[in-house]
Each structure stands twice: as structure tokens, then as C-alpha cells.
Structure 1
Amino acid sequence: MTEARTTSVPEPSSSSTTMTVPVPAVRRGPADPVILLMHRHRRLCEGAVDPLEIAAGLEAHGITDRTAARFRHRDVFSLAEELYARVPRDGDRAAAVLRAPKQPVPVADVRAGRASSARRLTLSLLPGAVSALTLAGLHRTSGQTQLAIALAGAFALSGALSSALRRGPLRATGRRVPAAGLWVYWLLAYLVCGDGLLDALVAGGPHGPWPATLTPLVGLSFAVAPAVCCAHLFSVHARRRLADSSGLADFAAGARPLLLATVALYACALTGIVLLSTLVLGAGAALAPTLALGTLLMLARLLTVHGYPDPAAAGLVCACLAEALACLSVAAGRIPGCGPVAAPVTGVVQAWGAGAVPALACAAAALVLLAYAVVTLGRASAHT
């Protein structure tokens, strides 16, 4: 039989010294507050070529300077700098690209770029040429031939505008609102024949075909070329400002005046084109509604190009509704007891002319879009 062995453990004596081991305090959550943000936006940080691109992405996700303060940083840009420094990139490919010496551009690429620029300029001048040829054909024909030329010119102008907007700096690569094109066509149609209709309604008609003028449409068609140039200048200088800025606030301080200068430059170019077309064609054109509509279309296109199609479409819809309600209110004023409904529009037409209605409608919508664009296009996330 095996004898069981027992081992006795000696008890500590009362004279032994008791040692106290410090226990670290239990933290709630990670010790580094940036780790969670780093994992959440790892794909953004791995694909960025500089900290400002990360800052723009964080801003697009709703992270502000106040949010950055919770991560122990003074602003979004300093937070982006830490994320850029801590998140590893595959072989530091972006840094290698930045450190690589600049190679001379091949002559073939230079020629291809010049050919592409010339092609875009030609496409931007095509709508003006189509509208001018259509107007010349309408002046030299009558009857069924004139109607056929008008329809052919309308289809050709629509195709030329679509071609000009599908290429170059006015090309929208993101999501678009399909109905926005309908609102643009409505605004252009009202510019051509809306004033004559409103005058006829105020006078008690219409008792027959109301007059239409194509001179404003010719001016707007030729204004596509300066719109392309202004959009290109805004894009180039905004990206240059994005590369040279030291933070989001610094970029916004330079981008917002740049947007205002771009809109002002286009408005001046449009004014000159409308006055010149009036002088050459010998037909009067209401400058105020043409200028207001052109500025509205330019702002709506800039917002669409930079990823804000819904506000752009909303501005166009509001202008269309204002013009439609003006005509409907005058027609509704003929119903017994509804005379006060037509009084505001009738008073505006009698005081400033029928062109004041589209001028006020488009100018109000343009001002709202301009205020919205100053805020949104002044963000770095709109240019990345």
C-alpha cells in the first residue's frame, strides 16, 4: 500500500512585513481617444496623399473643431495631421509620389491637352452659334418653314448644350436630379415667351399668339463659353488653395471670396454678351431677367458639379413656381371675387414691366443658392 503524503504549508508569522502592490486604475474606454477614430476612418487615412485630404474627409463626415476637441486636438486639421502620421500606408506610396522628382511632361501629352482644351472651347461656343443661325433663319422665312426651323433649332440647341455640359469643368460626375433639366427648359421657355404671355394676361387676353423674343436666349447661349472658363478658374484656384492652406479655416477664408469673384466675373461677362447681342441683332432684350436667370443657372451648375444637386434643383423649382404662380394669379383674378389675388402681380407689371417678374423670381433663387454655395463650396470636402 502506498502511504499518503501530506504537505503542510507554513502560516506567515505575525512578524513578517506586509508588501502593498499598486493596482493600476481601470480606464473606461481606450487610453488613446484617437484610436477609435483611426479605425473608423482607416480607409480614408490609407488613401490620403496629405493631411488636408483627411481633414476634408473628416469634415464631410460631420467632424468639426468642437468634435476634435474631444479627441484632445485644437481643430480638425491638427487631428488630421496625427491620423496621417499614425496610419500606415502601403509602402508609403503616397509619400513616395510626393518625394519623387517631377518628370517632364511628354510633348504628346501636351498636344493632347491642348487639343482637348480646344475641343471643349469649340463645344462651349456651339450653343451660341446654333442659336444665332436659328434666329437668322427665322428672320428670313415665314409660315411652315419658319415653324420647321424653330423646331430644328430648338432640338439642335438642346443637343449642343448637352454636349457642352458633358465635358469640361461643367461636367457633373456624381448623382444628379433628372427633373432638373425640365426646370431649366421651363425657365428658358419663359425667358423667350413668358413676358409676352404675362403682358397679354394683364391686358385681358391673350386674344391670339403673344409675342416672343429670342435675343435673351442667344445671349445666354453665347454665355456658355464664359461659364466654362469661370468654372475652370474656380476649380483650379480652389485646388491650388487646398494644397497651400494650413487648415480648414484657412482654406474657407480663401475659397469663399474666390467663389464670389467667380460669380461676379460671370455676371459681368453675361452682361457684356447680352448688351452686344442686343446691339448686333437690333432687338431689345431685358437685361435684368437674363442676368438673373444666367446667374441662377451658373450657381445651380456649380453646386451640381461639386456634389450638391438637390439644393440646385430646389432653387430652379422655386424660380419656376414663382413664374407659374404669377401667370396663374393674374388668370385667377378674373374669377368674380378673386380680384385681389391678381393685384400684386398686376401692380409689379404696371410699375416695372413684365420682365420684373422673372427677374425677381430668378434673382431671389440665385441669392439663396449663392448663400448656400458660399457655405458648402467653402469647405475642403467639396473639392476632393
Structure 2
Amino acid sequence: MPAPTPAPTRTTGTRPAPTDPLPASTPSRRTGADPVKALMHRHRNLCERAVDPLDIAAGLEAHGITDRTASRFLHRDVFSLAEEMYARVPRDAESRPGAPALNTPRARADWILLTLLPGALCAATVTALHLTHGQSRVIAAAAGTLAVALAVRAALARGPLAGKDRAHPTTPRISWLVAYALLGDGLLQAAATGGPDALPTGTAEGPWPLTTAPVLALALSCAPAAWCAHLFDVRARRKLSASRALEEFATSAKPLLLGTFALYLCALAALLALTTTTLNEPLAYPQTLTLGALLLLSRLLTTHGFTHAPALVLTAAGSAEATALATLFAARLPGCAFLATPVQTLIDTWGPAAIPTIACGAGALTLLLHAMRTVTRASAHAKADDTC
């Protein structure tokens, strides 16, 4: 007799607890479990475009991440953190075969010719001033000034002297400083002796003498300035690609900046000696070298994205020169003779060149200290486009 088939059990209203894990479609969020991954998500574009760990390190430095911040991600410094971020970014091996770590700027014929143009036009203008008289000299001076101004603007728009941020235009400030180098010392000396009695005649022998040799030397120095800036960029990017840490690059970049600065001053001094000898004018080394140093440092900072400090320092230097002139004329008012005492003391002690030398020298020293702290950062070079 066959065994009876067991009756099926009736299911109750309760179901056994599932033992399978949660589906993959509903992952649990773990905030803070992988802080490096969260940092990579915040800087995803930087990580995807980077071709070298220093590229990421420079970008992190630009965003304010320091070695102390990197310690919160269990890394000893920013470069170690950047190496992990660079290693964890997925890359297509075929898309970057041997990609260069950094783009090295190359010298191009267009900016080379543009930097030579201001000196050539200024030399032509000075020649025209010495060969013309009366109304013709006025026309030559006006046309030459306009041509040189346009040439300088074109030279500063391309090549290694070109600024990428125009939020703080410095052209009016530079124009004032150069105009003072041409007319300021003569006007200051004339004002200190009760003049001027007539308008400038375009020569160094008039009642309001012009000092054309410093301006011609500054115009000719546009080419050395561009080459020095180009040399600094090339050497800095080579050192950046060879460095293994941000501090190592900063240590090697500071002597490079000082060497570039000294090289330009030597070139400017040689050009000034040439122009003063040719034009038979007295040497004006202090005011010309300090002005040239101020202009070069302001352009170096501007080309690397630091525009605020140059604008402030150039404004302060120009304001100091304008104030010195204004106090001499204001002292002629009744009861205001005391206003001229500081400026008159400087003129009597060191001559009219003391005013621009002090103003531009203090500004150049301020920008040099600022450049030693900012332009020597890796973030000032790693993301610079190859615009030279």
C-alpha cells in the first residue's frame, strides 16, 4: 500500500527575512570613507587634463591646498597627494602616447619683430626732433609719440610680455611713468627755481629740458625684456618638469628669477650708456634702472596672472611723482611755502632724479619681493598656454 502524500503546508502571513545582499542599484553612501576620491571629484577637470603629477600638484596649489591640507588626506605633501590622484585617474593609453609634461614656449617671428618696433620708432622720433624746428618739430613729436605708444601696446599684446588678464589695465600708469622720465626731471628742476618760463622746445638745452636718452633706452629695451621673460618661462618649465616636489621647484626658481632680473638690468644699463653717448646727454642710471626694473617686474607678474599688485604699485609710484610736482606749485600759494620743504630738500641734496628714483625703486623692490613669493610657484607656470 503506497505511502500517503504529505499535505502541502499552508503559508502564513509572515515571510522569512531575505538573506541576499542589497541590490547593486541601491548602494549605500559612505561619506568620508575615501577623501581622496571626493577631492578628485571636486577637481575632476584638473585630473582629466593633467599629463603629469606636477600638473595636478600645481593646480591644487593654485586652489589653496598646502602640505598641511595634504596631511588630512594621509599624505606628507601636496606632490604625494597629486601622485595618487594622477595614478587613480583612468586614462586611454592610446590617447596620450608619450605626452609632454609641459608645453615649452617657443620664440616666434611675430613677437620678435613687435618688440623691436618700439625702439626703432622711438629712435626715428628722436632723430626727427633733432632735425626739425618750430611747427615741424611739434608735428614730429606728436606723430612719433603716437607711433611709439601704439608699438608698445602691440608689443605687450603678443609674446612673453602679453598679459592674460585685463581686469587691471596698467597702460595709463606706464604712460605716466614714461612721460615723467621724458619731462619730469626738467619740469621739477624748473619748478624748484620758480619756472618754467616757457613750454619745452624738444631739446635738452631749453628752459624745460627733455631727457630723451632714458626714454629711448627703455624703448630699445623692449626686446631684451621680451627675451628675458621668454628665457625665464622656458627655464622655469624645464625645472618644473624635472622637479619632484613643489618646494624643490620654488627653491630652484628663485635664483632663476633673480638672474633674469639682473640680466635685463645689465642690458638696460648698456643701452642707456649707448643712448646717452649718442645724444650727448648726462647719464641717468638711478632713475632709468629703477623705472626699467619696475616695468619689467610688473609685466612678469601680469603675464603669470598676478595683476592686482602691479596695478597698485604703478599707481603709487606715479602718484608719488605727481605729488612731488604738485607740492612745488602749491607752495607758491600764500602761506603754503612749507609744502615744498620735503621735495626741495631732496632736490637740494640729491638732485631732481631723487624723486623718480625713490618712487620707482620702492615700487620695484615691493614687486620683486612679491614676485619671489608668487611667480616661483608651480601653479604660475604649469597651466600657462604656449602663447609665445
TM bucket, shorter chain: 0.7 to 0.9
The residue number in structure 1 matching 2:295 is 297
The residue number in structure 2 matching 1:76 is 78
Q: Structure 2: how far apart are the matches of 1:239 and 1:267?
A: 23
The residue number in structure 1 matching 2:166 is 175
Amino acid at match of 2:138: L
Q: Structure 2: how far apart are the matches of 1:143 and 1:366?
A: 38
User: 1:94 deviation in Å?
Assistant: 6.2
- TM-score (normalised: structure 2): 0.85
Q: Structure 2: how far apart are the matches of 1:241 and 1:95?
A: 22
Q: Structure 2: how far apart are the matches of 1:97 and 1:73?
A: 28
Secondary structure at the counterpart of residue 98 of structure 1 = coil
User: 1:367 deviation in Å?
Assistant: 0.5
Is contact 1:192-1:213 (8 Å) kept?
Answer: yes
- TM-score (normalised: structure 1): 0.86
User: 1:6 deviation in Å?
Assistant: 9.9
Deviation sequence 1:14-35 (CA, Å, 0-9, x none): xxxxxxxxxxxxx984222212
The residue number in structure 2 matching 1:220 is 218
2:188 to 190, 198, 208: 198
Q: Structure 2: how far apart are the matches of 1:28 and 1:132?
A: 70
2:144 to 150, 153, 163: 153
Range with greater deviation from structure 2 (277-286 or 318-327): 277-286
Q: Which residues in structure 2 correspond to 1:255-266 (within 5 Å)?
A: 255-266=253-264
2:66 to 64, 67, 82: 64
User: 1:242 deviation in Å?
Assistant: 0.8
CA spacing shift, 1:96–1:155, aligned 2, 3 Å: same
1:120 aligns with 2:111: yes
Range with greater deviation from structure 2 (281-290 or 241-250): 281-290
Amino acid at match of 2:367: L
User: 1:93 deviation in Å?
Assistant: 5.6
1:359 aligns with 2:350: no
Secondary structure at the counterpart of residue 211 of structure 1 = coil
1:129 aligns with 2:127: no
Secondary structure at the counterpart of residue 378 of structure 1 = coil
Is contact 1:49-1:94 (8 Å) kept?
Answer: no
User: 1:333 deviation in Å?
Assistant: 2.4
Aligned positions, number: 348
Q: Structure 2: how far apart are the matches of 1:78 and 1:349?
A: 57
Secondary structure at the counterpart of residue 97 of structure 2 = helix
Unaligned runs of at least 5 residues, structure 2: 1-9, 15-28, 101-105, 200-207, 384-388
User: 1:191 deviation in Å?
Assistant: 0.4
Q: Structure 2: how far apart are the matches of 1:330 and 1:28?
A: 72
Unaligned runs of at least 5 residues, structure 1: 10-26, 100-112
Is contact 1:48-1:94 (8 Å) kept?
Answer: no
Q: Which residues in structure 2 correspond to 1:29-108 (within 5 Å)?
A: 29-89=31-91, 91-92=92-93, 95-98=96-99
User: 1:92 deviation in Å?
Assistant: 4.0
Q: Which has the higher contact order (CA 8 A, sep 6+)?
A: 2
Is contact 1:121-1:225 (8 Å) kept?
Answer: yes
Amino acid at match of 1:97: G
Q: Structure 1: how far apart are the matches of 2:342 and 2:98?
A: 63
Q: Percent identity, aligned pairs only?
A: 52
Q: Structure 1: how far apart are the matches of 2:296 and 2:186?
A: 25
Is contact 1:125-1:222 (8 Å) kept?
Answer: yes
1:284 to 260, 264, 282: 282
Q: Structure 2: how far apart are the matches of 1:122 and 1:271?
A: 22
Is contact 1:42-1:87 (8 Å) kept?
Answer: no
Amino acid at match of 1:96: P
CA spacing shift, 1:373–1:94, aligned 2, 3 Å: farther
CA spacing shift, 1:200–1:93, aligned 2, 3 Å: farther
The residue number in structure 2 matching 1:103 is none
CA spacing shift, 1:94–1:367, aligned 2, 3 Å: farther
Q: Structure 2: how far apart are the matches of 1:343 and 1:93?
A: 74
User: 1:208 deviation in Å?
Assistant: 2.2
Deviation sequence 1:164-199 (CA, Å, 0-9, x none): 222221122333423x11111100110001111111
Q: Structure 2: how far apart are the matches of 1:221 and 1:305?
A: 19
1:166 to 136, 157, 165: 157
RMSD (Å) for aligned C-alpha atoms: 2.3
Q: Structure 2: how far apart are the matches of 1:334 and 1:93?
A: 78
1:318 to 312, 316, 328: 316
Q: Structure 2: how far apart are the matches of 1:257 and 1:360?
A: 25
